[in-house]
Amino acid sequence: MNATAYYEMLKARARELRQEREWTQPRIGLREIKQLCLEKGIEKIDLWPPAKCRTAKKRTKVRGIYAPNGGRPCVMVNRHLPKEQRVFTIGHELKHHLFDVDGDAPMLCETKVQNNAIEIGAEIFAAELIYPDADFCRDLGDRGVKPGACTAEDLVRLKHDTGTSLSCAALAKKAYRFNFAAKDAFEKAAWKKIELQIFGEPDYLRFRRRRTPQR
């Protein structure tokens, strides 16, 4: 099987899982994806380091680990990741659980995705599980975005309006793949800044600022 066929097979499986779970929206919560993993035989999903370990190193390049653990598989998710990236990472590790188990060898997923079919496949699977390509293309098309003319603002608006759990960076990758934008068009996009410019300060930040006493 060549790489393209392999990736298509993974995407088809991701869509099947969405159908099984009756997921129709591109917004998948932590609870939903954890539930799916538990149903598929993953025993535990651990946020790492444990909350009690205050002395733990803050930053690590490891996003997640899939550990077969002698038939009692566990998934580690980096506690310091934002919620959306946690969802994505769990989806990524689910792919390893479903397709890549090789004896008892654990699988590591770094913040920088390795350039091999297994890891790229896991990224594609997770992205499709959360927001299928067909839905992405349809939603962008519905907004009047033409191939080659997609801007960072379009993606930020898409994310905001659909409420998808995919990050803007992940949406950008989809946009490249379907030729909505030229390669590396969003390389220097400051997603948070653009979001702030378009939608203003989110409520939670405003409330947080109000509650913090001014000095």
Partner 1 sequence: MSIVKHVGDRIRELRTSYKGRKLSQEELARELRIATNTISRWETGTYRPSIEDLEMLARFFDIPISEFFPQEGPPPRDTRLNALLRGAKNLNDDDLSDVQRYLDFVQARTAYERPRRKSQSRK
CB-wise, 62 or 189, nearer to partner 1?
62
Beta carbon of residue 46, minimum distance to partner 1 (angstroms, whole number): 7
Beta carbon of residue 108, minimum distance to partner 1 (angstroms, whole number): 5
Beta carbon of residue 106, minimum distance to partner 1 (angstroms, whole number): 6
Beta carbon of residue 124, minimum distance to partner 1 (angstroms, whole number): 18
- Reported as type and span, the H/E element at residue 15 is helix 3-21
CB-wise, 57 or 146, nearer to partner 1?
57
CB 145 within 8 A of CB 152: no
Q: What's the CA gap between 99 and 155, in Å, rounded? A: 31
Q: In what order do the strands lie in the sheet with 107-110?
A: 44-48, 74-78, 62-67, 107-110
CB-wise, 107 or 181, nearer to partner 1?
107
CB-wise, 28 or 76, nearer to partner 1?
76
Q: What's the CA gap between 160 and 171, in Å, rounded? A: 12
**In this structure, what token pair is assigned to residue 18?**
């969405």
CB-wise, 1 or 51, nearer to partner 1?
51
DSSP-assigned letters across all residues of 23-34: --SS---HHHHH
CB-wise, 57 or 215, nearer to partner 1?
57
Q: Is 177 helix (H, G, I), strand (E, B) or coil?
A: helix
Residues that bind partner 1 (CB under 8 A): 44, 46, 48-57, 60-62, 65, 67, 69-70, 72, 74, 76, 103-108, 110, 112, 114
- Reported as type and span, the H/E element at residue 148 is none
Q: What's the CA gap between 204 and 3, in Å, rounded? A: 43
